[in-house]
Structure 1
Amino acid sequence: MSSPTPDVTVPPALPDPAPPRALPNALAAFLVFFSSGAVLVLETAALRLVGPYVGVTLQVTSSVIGIALAAIAYGAWAGGRLADRRDPRTLLAPALVLSGVATAVTLPVVRYAGEVLRGGAASAVLLLVALAVFVPALLLSAVTPLVVKLQLADLRRTGQVVGKLSSVGTLGAVTATLVTGFVLVAALPSTVILFGLAAALGVAGIALGVWLHRQDRTELPGPARAKAALAVLGLVGVGLTTVAPDPCDIETAYHCARVEVDPARDSGRTLLLNSARHSYVDLADPTHLEFAYTRWIGAVADVVAPPGRRLDALHLGGGGFTVPRYLTATRPGTDNVVFEIDGGLVDLSEEKLGVRQGPDLRAVVGDARMLVAEEGTDSRDFVVGDAFGHLVVPWHLATREMVAEVRRVTRPGGVYVQNVIDYPPLRFIRSEVATVAAEFRHVALIAPPEALAGERGANFLIVASDAPLPLAAVRARLDADEEPVSLLSGADLTAFAGDALVLTDDYAPVDQLLATA
Structure 2
Amino acid sequence: MPEPLRFDRDPDRPNLLHLVADEVVQATVDLDDPSYLDAEYMQRIAYLVDAMAAPKAPLRVLHLGAGGLAMARYVAATRPGSYQQAVETNRELVDLVRAQAPLPRGVKVKIRHTDAREAVESAPEASYELVITDVYAEARVPAHVTSTEFLTAAHRVLRPGGHYAVNLCDGGQMRFLKPALAAMGAVWAHTAVMAEPAVLRGRRFGNVVAVAADTELPIAALRRRCAGAAFPCRVLEGTELREYIAGAAPATDATAIQSPPPPRSLRSF
The TM tier, using the shorter chain, reads over 0.9
CA offset at residue 271 of structure 1?
A: 0.3
**Gapped runs of 5+ residues in structure 2?**
263-269
Please identify which structure carries the higher helix content. Answer: 1
Q: Does 1:266 align with 2:14?
A: yes
Name 2:103's counterpart in structure 1: 355
Is the CA contact (8 Å cut-off) linking 1:418 and 1:462 kept in structure 2?
yes
Cα 1:454–1:318 shift into 2, 3 Å: same
Q: Which residue of the other structure, out of 118, 128, 132, is the alignment partner of 1:384?
A: 132
Matched to 1:347, the amino acid is D
Larger radius of gyration: 1
Name 1:332's counterpart in structure 2: 80
Name 1:500's counterpart in structure 2: 248
Q: Deviations over 1:270-322 (max 9, x none)?
A: 00111111010101001111010010011110000243110000000001111
Q: Deviations over 1:201-256 (max 9, x none)?
A: xxxxxxxxxxxxxxxxxxxxxxxxxxxxxxxxxxxxxxxxxxxxxxxxxxxxxxx2
Q: Deviations over 1:72-102 (max 9, x none)?
A: xxxxxxxxxxxxxxxxxxxxxxxxxxxxxxx
471-480 or 294-303, larger mean C-alpha shift = 471-480
Q: Which residue of the other structure, out of 75, 79, 90, is the alignment partner of 1:342?
A: 90
Matched to 1:337, the amino acid is Q
Name 1:279's counterpart in structure 2: 27
**Structure-1 separation of matches of 2:74 and 2:153:** 25
**Structure-2 separation of matches of 1:309 and 1:371:** 25
**Structure-1 separation of matches of 2:257 and 2:50:** 34
Name 1:421's counterpart in structure 2: 169
Name 2:186's counterpart in structure 1: 438
What secondary structure, in the 3-state scheme, does the structure 2 residue paired with 1:506 have? coil
Name 2:267's counterpart in structure 1: none
Q: Which residue of the other structure, out of 458, 463, 471, is the alignment partner of 2:219?
A: 471
What secondary structure, in the 3-state scheme, does the structure 2 residue paired with 1:373 have? helix
Cα 1:449–1:438 shift into 2, 3 Å: same
Name 1:288's counterpart in structure 2: 36
Is the CA contact (8 Å cut-off) linking 1:311 and 1:331 kept in structure 2?
yes
Q: Deviations over 1:17-74 (max 9, x none)?
A: xxxxxxxxxxxxxxxxxxxxxxxxxxxxxxx3xx33xxxxxxxxxxxxxxxxxxxxxx
Q: Does 1:480 align with 2:228?
A: yes
Matched to 2:143, the amino acid is W
Matched to 2:147, the amino acid is T
Is the CA contact (8 Å cut-off) linking 1:335 and 1:359 kept in structure 2?
no
Cα 1:347–1:307 shift into 2, 3 Å: farther
CA offset at residue 506 of structure 1?
A: 2.0
Please identify which structure carries the higher strand content. Answer: 2
CA offset at residue 391 of structure 1?
A: 2.0
**Structure-2 separation of matches of 1:357 and 1:391:** 31
Using the size of structure 1 for normalisation, the TM-score is 0.49
CA offset at residue 342 of structure 1?
A: 0.8
CA offset at residue 360 of structure 1?
A: 3.3
What secondary structure, in the 3-state scheme, does the structure 2 residue paired with 1:288 have? coil
Is the CA contact (8 Å cut-off) linking 1:276 and 1:390 kept in structure 2?
no
Matched to 1:315, the amino acid is H
Name 1:149's counterpart in structure 2: none
Q: State the aligned residue count.
A: 262
Q: Which residue of the other structure, out of 148, 157, 176, is the alignment partner of 1:409?
A: 157
Matched to 1:428, the amino acid is F
Q: Does 1:460 align with 2:215?
A: no
**Structure-1 separation of matches of 2:38 and 2:107:** 26
**Gapped runs of 5+ residues in structure 1?**
1-47, 53-255
Is the CA contact (8 Å cut-off) linking 2:63 and 2:84 kept in structure 1?
yes
Is the CA contact (8 Å cut-off) linking 1:443 and 1:465 kept in structure 2?
yes
**Structure-2 separation of matches of 1:458 and 1:507:** 22
**Structure-2 separation of matches of 1:418 and 1:451:** 16
What secondary structure, in the 3-state scheme, does the structure 2 residue paired with 1:459 have? strand
Matched to 2:59, the amino acid is L
Name 1:308's counterpart in structure 2: 56
Name 1:510's counterpart in structure 2: 258
Identity %: 32
CA offset at residue 263 of structure 1?
A: 1.4
Name 2:120's counterpart in structure 1: 372
What secondary structure, in the 3-state scheme, does the structure 1 residue paired with 2:176 have? helix
Is the CA contact (8 Å cut-off) linking 2:142 and 2:257 kept in structure 1?
no
**Structure-1 separation of matches of 2:40 and 2:54:** 20
What secondary structure, in the 3-state scheme, does the structure 1 residue paired with 2:17 have? strand
Is the CA contact (8 Å cut-off) linking 1:357 and 1:363 kept in structure 2?
no
Structure with higher RCO (Cα < 8 A, 6+ apart): 2
Cα 1:515–1:338 shift into 2, 3 Å: closer
Is the CA contact (8 Å cut-off) linking 1:333 and 1:360 kept in structure 2?
no
Q: How does 1:124-143 map to 2 (within 5 A)?
A: none
**Structure-1 separation of matches of 2:106 and 2:254:** 39
Q: Does 1:323 align with 2:74?
A: no
Q: How does 1:176-187 map to 2 (within 5 A)?
A: none
Name 1:393's counterpart in structure 2: 141
Is the CA contact (8 Å cut-off) linking 1:350 and 1:356 kept in structure 2?
no
What secondary structure, in the 3-state scheme, does the structure 1 residue paired with 2:236 have? strand
CA offset at residue 382 of structure 1?
A: 0.8
* Superposition misfits of 4+ residues, deviation over 4 angstroms: 356-359
Matched to 2:148, the amino acid is R
What secondary structure, in the 3-state scheme, does the structure 1 residue paired with 2:122 have? coil
